[in-house]
């Protein structure tokens, strides 16, 4: 997305396109943090290491996108604030990772939380998660023995 925008000067035109429904603003919004996600504050351009030793065009674009999103009623009403992955991609690219690796890199730190939840469920049966959705059809269907359904035994 930041490559598509190209420069800080192109951000207003990109925002207009998003508001017209002609694209998505990646890295904004979170299913838990319905207001500003506090995690990006520590990873955004306020960290000297992210700025590097020179001008970082992607960081400039990202900071401008964040500034507009925090002020524009369109984004505020929809509660679209930058999430932690918004700046993580810039950091990973600054470290030399290609964008194709971002999905894997975003998942690596999450595995700690997934493993912790799994361990909690194993250790305390009362903490086991339950599926909240009801799956199935509206009508009851009969089943056929394997020999009649065409499956091999």
Q: In angstroms, rounded to a whole number, what is the distance separating the alpha carbons of residues 43 and 49?
A: 10
- CA–CA dist 88, 40 (Å, integer): 8
| Active-site pick, 30, 37, 53, 72 | 30
Strand partners, 28: 82
Residue among 3, 53, 72, 85 flagged as catalytic = 85
CA dist 113 to 36, 39, 107, 108, 116, Å? Answer: 21, 16, 10, 10, 5
Active site residue 132: no
Q: Are 90 and 50 in contact (CB under 8 A)?
A: yes
Token match 């903490």: residue?
127
Chain position carrying tokens 């369109």: 74
Query: Could you confirm whether 72 is annotated as catalytic?
Result: no
Residues carrying an active site annotation: 30, 85
């Amino acid at each position: 997305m930041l490559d598509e925008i190209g420069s800080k000067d192109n951000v207003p035109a990109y925002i207009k396109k998003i508001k017209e429904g002609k694209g998505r603003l990646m890295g904004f919004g979170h299913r838990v943090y319905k207001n500003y996600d506090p995690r990006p504050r520590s990873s955004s351009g306020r960290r000297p290491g992210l700025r590097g030793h020179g001008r970082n065009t992607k960081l400039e674009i990202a900071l401008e996108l964040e500034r507009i999103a925090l002020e524009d009623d369109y984004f505020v009403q929809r509660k679209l604030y930058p999430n932690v992955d918004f700046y993580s991609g810039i950091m990973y690219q600054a470290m030399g990772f290609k964008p194709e690796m971002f999905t894997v890199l975003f998942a690596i730190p999450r595995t700690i939380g997934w493993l912790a939840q799994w361990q909690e469920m194993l250790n305390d049966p009362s903490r086991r998660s339950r599926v909240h959705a009801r799956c199935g059809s509206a009508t009851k269907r009969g089943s056929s023995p394997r020999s009649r359904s065409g499956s091999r035994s």
